[in-house]
Amino acid sequence: MSKAPNEFDTTRYHEERRAKADAQIAMAEKKKAEDKAARTAAENAEIAGFQGLPKDGETREQLLARIRLMREQHPPEVKPEGYRSPGMLKTFNEEQEAGRAAVAKAEAEWEMYQAARLKAEAEAEKKSGEAGAGLAPQP
Q: Where are the domains of the chain?
A: 10-49, 86-128
The DSSP code for 76 is P
Name, in order, each residue with C-beta under 8 angstroms of 53's C-beta and a sequence gap of 6 or more.
47
**How confident is the model over 12-51, as pLDDT tens digits?**
889 999 999 999 999 999 999 999 999 988 887 777 766 6
CB atoms within 10 A of CB 63: 14
Instruction: Please check whether residue 62 is in contact with residue 53, taking contact to mean a CB–CB distance below 8 angstroms.
Output: no
Q: How far apart are CA 85 and CA 73, in angstroms?
A: 35
- pLDDT of the residue at 44: 79
Which is more confident, 131 or 65? 65
**How confident is the model over 94-133, as pLDDT tens digits?**
999 999 999 999 999 999 999 999 999 999 888 887 655 5
Name, in order, each residue with C-beta under 8 angstroms of 78's C-beta and a sequence gap of 6 or more.
none
Q: How far apart are CA 19 and CA 21, in angstroms?
A: 5
